[in-house]
Amino acid sequence: MTFPSTENLNVAAFEAMPSPRELHERIPLADAAAQFVAASRATLCRVLDRTDPRLLVIVGPCSIHDPAAGLDYAQRLRELAAEVKDSFYVVMRVYFEKPRTVTGWKGFINDPHMDDSFHIEEGMERARRFLVELAELGVPAATEALDPASPQYLGDLIAWYAIGARTSESQTHREMASGLSAPVGFKNATDGNVGVAINAIRSAREPHTFLGITADGTQAIVRTRGNRYGHIVLRGGQSPNYDTAQVALTEQELEQAGLKPNLVIDCSHANSLKKPELQPLVFRDCVHQIVEGNNSIVGLMLESNLVAGNQPIPEDKTRLIYGCSVTDACIGWETTVKLLRESAAALTPVLRARAAGATGQ
């Protein structure tokens, strides 16, 4: 008698994937670049500990789809970061994975050719190569932790992680965050609920035990120590939540939860009503709050690219506009430069005073 199969009924195929160790050996991180990544993380921890008074600024494309344009952006950003270093610690937004509410392009790792061919093994290799180039260039990288396996492939190259609005409530992502080697920002839920992110921060601070993979790609029981550098990212919800009143309410909720009131404001997404031209207004409003005495805003996020706006993914990829987003619309490079230069100049004396107050001088 033949019994019916009861497993993998909706799985079309399994394909081999290189192990994290194999990819690391193929694309190694040199000692100097590894030291740079470690130093970048240490700086971010000092910002969150308030021993470094500068603001964290996470800026870059909504997503990376063209590594050549991404590297072009990184080279320009390195020069701009050096100009504003007294006020801002600049980290490049390098997002390779895109969560989707229903469907859509899932990002460079999942589909590097943007044609539904889904060469994940190629996408992961090219993503690692790009991040190594950034580390060698001296540009810190920020990304979203979406697939629980990705940190084993790329985690040695990341200075800052985000857990997105759709996954901050996920136990899997809270557990993963507890073991990540870099600071983690948890976004409030898509409806604006900040309690979800606060609970995520509290959860990720604790040790966890869960199933994961090793560097050799084998299944393992992962036991984490907990991540003490979790913090909240306000990205808006049904309405924006970057204003003075919403910031004050979030401070109160964090303090009631026994957490340090460290806030990063995402100037995009619902805070800008998904209109890129509003991002600079949100950014300047937050700068004004700091000038007026706010001490809880420790970072700001911008979606920025070489070319403003966005574009659909055409069937003929040669028609893609160089340096223009294929996901959320971004502000352009010239706007980015003007905004960061002006804001840095306005904040320099204020941040010095903030530092003096923190040290009791």
CATH number at residue 76: 3.20.20.70
Bridge partners of residue 144, in order along the sequence: 162
pLDDT, tens digit (0-9, with 9 covering 90-100), for 135-165: 999 999 999 999 999 999 999 999 999 999 9
Is the pLDDT at 358 greater than 90? The verdict is no
CB of 200 closer than 8 Å to CB of 168:
yes
3-class DSSP state of 331: strand
Owning domain of residue 266: 56-354
**Hunting for tokens 């859509």 — which residue is that?**
104
**29 in a structural domain:** no
Neighbours of 267 (CB within 10 A): 31
Query: Is residue 263 over pLDDT 80?
Result: yes
**Is 209 domain-assigned?**
yes
Here the tokens at position 36 are 């740079």
Mean pLDDT of 326-355: 94
As a whole number, the mean pLDDT across the chain is 96
Neighbours of 334 (CB within 10 A): 10
Residue 345 falls inside a structural domain: yes
The CA-atom distances, in angstroms, between 282 and each of 22, 132, 241, 286 are: 43, 32, 10, 6
Q: Is the residue at 10 inside a domain?
A: no
> Would residue 5 count as lying in a domain?
no
- As a whole number, mean pLDDT of residues 285-304 equals 97
Separation between Cα atoms, residue 146 and residue 180, nearest integer Å: 12
CA distances, 166 to each of 216, 247, 289 (Å): 30, 21, 28
187-207 confidence digits (pLDDT tens): 999 999 999 999 999 999 999
User: Residue 359: pLDDT above 60?
Assistant: no
Residue 104's pLDDT is what? 84
Task: Indicate if the pLDDT at residue 9 is higher than 50.
Answer: yes
pLDDT digits (tens, 9 = 90+) for 33-92: 999 999 999 999 999 999 999 999 999 999 999 999 999 999 999 999 999 999 999 999
pLDDT beyond 60 at 184? yes
pLDDT tens for 306-318 read 999 999 999 999 9
- Model's pTM, two decimal places? 0.96
For the chain, how many structural domains are there in total? 1
- Rounded Cα distance between 155 and 215, Å, is 11
pLDDT higher than threshold 90 for residue 101: no
Tell me, yes or no, whether 213 lies in a domain.
yes
Q: Which residue reads 């001088």 in tokens?
A: 361
Res 287 pLDDT > 70: yes
CA distance 179 to 194: 22
Q: Is residue 28 part of a domain?
A: no
Dump pLDDT digits (tens) for 196-242: 999 999 999 999 999 999 999 999 999 999 999 999 999 999 999 99
Which of the two residues, 99 and 306, has the higher pLDDT score?
A: 306
Question: pLDDT over 90 for what percent of the chain?
Answer: 94
Pairwise CA distance, residues 227 & 178, whole Å: 5
- Asked if residue 261 belongs to a domain, the reply is yes
Question: So what's the pLDDT on residue 95?
Answer: 97
Residue 361: per-residue pLDDT: 42
CA distances from 141 to 38, 91, 156, 171, 197 (A): 12, 6, 11, 25, 22
